[in-house]
Structure 1
Amino acid sequence: MKQLNTYDTKEEGEAALAKIDEPKRLASERDSTEVIYNLFGTPSWGNFYKLGMFDLDTLKTIVEQKKNGQPYDEKKHREIITMLQYVAKNFELEIPVHWM
Structure 2
Amino acid sequence: MKLLNTYDDRDEAENAEQRLIGEKRLASERDATVVIYNLFGLPTWGNFHRLGMYRLDELQVLLEGRAAWLAQEKERHGEILASLTTVAKNYGLEIPQHWI
User: So what's the TM-score if we normalise by structure 1?
Assistant: 0.95
- 1:89 and 2:92 equivalent? no
User: So what's the TM-score if we normalise by structure 2?
Assistant: 0.95
Paired amino acid for 1:19: R
Higher mean C-alpha displacement, 71-80 vs 90-99: 71-80
Task: Report the counterpart of residue 32 of structure 2 in structure 1.
Answer: 32
- Aligned structure 1 segments of 4 or more residues deviating by more than 6 angstroms: none
The 2-side partners of 1:31 and 1:22 are apart by 29
Correspondent of 1:70 among 38, 63, 68: 68
Question: What is the aligned residue count?
Answer: 98
Paired amino acid for 1:51: L
Unaligned runs of 5+ in 2: none
- 1:58 and 2:54 equivalent? no
The 2-side partners of 1:31 and 1:92 are apart by 31
Distance apart, 1:71 and its partner CA: 2.2
Identity level (%):
53
Deviations 1:22-55 (A, max 9, x none): 2001000111210000000000000000000000
- 1:79 and 2:79 equivalent? yes
| CA RMSD of superposed structures (Å) | 0.8
Unaligned runs of 5+ in 1: none
Task: Report the counterpart of residue 5 of structure 1 in structure 2.
Answer: 5
